């Protein structure tokens, strides 16, 4: 097939490289792990984006998850224009902040009280600080392969043995701070139990993605999340559920509704802001009352509760609450299943060593024998083969995450015909590998 013209994207990238580190404002966008060159996007509508050279791309990244209704959904531009006409930022309270908080609390009952912030990183960082302040403890536990933003305490790799303190996984993270973070394999409650047995009195909280989305999609095995909750309760630690990706994507109440959880603290983002920069953290009222100005845990932000982001969040959540009773999430899950099962079937038919994990409207194709149940098994994937597959799909007008260890997403805007087209292109790509 004839390769698409991407000359303008390449020229724009070259210019960006002279001004911005790596030419991008978030590392994965540089496409280094897939050996490609980033497309610069001009516009998006529904399930498609148009790049700077005029190429149409069927989008399965959806801005890394938040675009549950696709690009430029009906009514959003008018909502933002009307909001901006009244003022884009005040640094003072507005009524709509409480309206959004009320809607979130209604959907996610474990969040009895919450605070709006600007990003998932900020929300996770604040939730952990709050957990430390509430418990009077310093140590936190995270799971290998789960990503909770780029705060220093969370950029930590596993130590050399069970229950050893972590080591920095990024330059610039002090070793002394990294040593306050313990890591544990995902889907391994026995290892977590041993960590608590050794250091339970030191642990302020355990933070987890209830469905992992940052090592690729890895669902929890039966009993795993419940074991975390039970161990936290037994040892006086807080259970922190990072639903930045899964919140409002797997259901109105997020993954915690599906798995019957009631975490002490929850972190939301992405869809909660309708695709604009907004996130939230919240939970038990007695815990949230430790936040300044009520308590001694400080957290602040000039743009927190920004009118434009709040308006976009209200637009998205009101539509979700309106359409959820009419089968919105069942429809999304059916589309996700069509995409995931189609990829799995094509890979098997071509004799590829591949595994497809999915949860609702999220999925990941791993070039690994499987099963993929944690970061260790995800890391066995053939990343070079994924890179070739990614480039072949991009040449055919299908935009996937430029990393083996990310999720693909479908939106309400994706039709069965769109998914069938993408699967047809995947069949060609598998054949060309």
Active site residue 86: no
In whole angstroms, give the CA distance from residue 187 to residue 225.
8
Phi, psi of 211 (to 5 degrees): -125, 115
Scored b (16 or more CB within 10 A) or e, 240-270 reads bbbbbbbbbbbbbbbbbbbbebebbbbbbbb
Active-site residue, selected from the candidate residues 51, 188, 242, 418 = 242
Cα separations in angstroms, 247 against 113, 144, 150, 157: 16, 21, 19, 25
In whole angstroms, give the CA distance from residue 108 to residue 265.
11
In the block, tokens 């539509």 appear at 319
Residue 429's H or E segment, with its range, is helix 416-432
For the stretch 223-230, contacts whose Cβ atoms lie closer than 8 Å and that sit 24 or more positions apart, written own/partner, are: 223/189, 224/186, 224/187, 224/188, 224/189, 225/259, 225/261, 226/259, 226/260, 226/261, 227/189, 227/192, 227/193, 228/189, 228/192, 229/261, 229/262, 229/263
Active-site residue, selected from the candidate residues 51, 142, 147, 188 = 147
Question: Is residue 121 a contact partner of residue 214, using CB atoms and an 8 Å limit?
Answer: no
In whole angstroms, give the CA distance from residue 415 to residue 193.
44
Phi, psi of 331 (to 5 degrees): -65, -45
Active site residue 5: no
Active site residue 399: no
Active-site residue, selected from the candidate residues 59, 259, 264, 270 = 270
In whole angstroms, give the CA distance from residue 67 to residue 47.
9
In whole angstroms, give the CA distance from residue 2 to residue 9.
17
Among all residues, which ones are annotated catalytic?
147, 242, 270
């Amino acid at each position: 097939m004839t390769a698409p013209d991407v000359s303008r994207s390449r020229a724009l990238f070259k210019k960006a490289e002279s001004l911005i580190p790596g030419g991008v404002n978030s590392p994965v966008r540089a496409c280094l792990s897939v050996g490609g060159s980033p497309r610069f996007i001009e516009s998006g509508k529904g399930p498609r984006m148009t790049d700077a050279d005029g190429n149409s791309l069927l989008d399965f990244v959806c801005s890394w998850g938040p675009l549950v209704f696709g690009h430029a959904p009906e009514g959003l531009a008018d909502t933002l224009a009307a909001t901006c006409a009244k003022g884009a930022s005040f640094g003072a309270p507005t009524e709509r902040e409480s309206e959004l908080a009320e809607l979130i609390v209604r959907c996610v009952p474990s969040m009895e009280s919450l605070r709006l912030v600007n990003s998932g990183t900020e929300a996770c960082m604040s939730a952990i600080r709050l957990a430390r302040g509430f418990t009077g403890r310093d140590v936190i536990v995270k799971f290998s392969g789960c990503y909770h933003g780029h705060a220093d305490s969370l950029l930590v790799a596993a130590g050399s043995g069970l229950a050893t303190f972590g080591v920095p996984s990024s330059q610039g993270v002090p070793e002394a701070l990294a040593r306050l973070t313990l890591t544990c394999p995902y889907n391994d409650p026995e290892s977590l139990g041993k960590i608590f047995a050794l250091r339970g009195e030191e642990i302020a909280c355990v933070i987890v993605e209830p469905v992992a989305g940052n090592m690729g999609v890895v669902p929890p095995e039966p009993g795993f999340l419940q074991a975390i909750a039970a161990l936290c309760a037994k040892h006086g630690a807080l259970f922190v559920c990072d639903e930045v990706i899964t919140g409002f994507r797997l259901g109105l109440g997020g993954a915690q509704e599906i798995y019957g959880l009631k975490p002490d603290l929850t972190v939301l983002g992405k869809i909660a802001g309708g695709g604009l920069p907004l996130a939230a953290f919240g939970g038990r009222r007695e815990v949230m009352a430790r936040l300044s100005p009520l308590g001694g845990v400080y957290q602040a932000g000039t743009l927190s509760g920004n009118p434009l982001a709040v308006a976009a969040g209200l637009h998205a959540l009101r539509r979700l609450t309106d359409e959820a009773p009419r089968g919105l999430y069942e429809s999304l899950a059916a589309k996700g299943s069509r995409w995931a099962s189609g990829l799995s079937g094509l890979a098997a038919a071509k004799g590829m060593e591949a595994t497809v994990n999915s949860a609702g409207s999220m999925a990941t194709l791993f070039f690994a024998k499987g099963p993929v149940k944690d970061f260790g098994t995800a890391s066995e994937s053939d990343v070079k083969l994924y890179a070739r597959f990614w480039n072949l799909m991009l040449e055919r007008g299908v935009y996937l995450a430029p990393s083996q260890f990310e999720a693909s997403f479908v939106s309400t805007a994706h039709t069965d015909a769109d998914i069938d087209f993408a699967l047809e292109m995947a069949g060609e790509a598998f054949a060309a590998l």
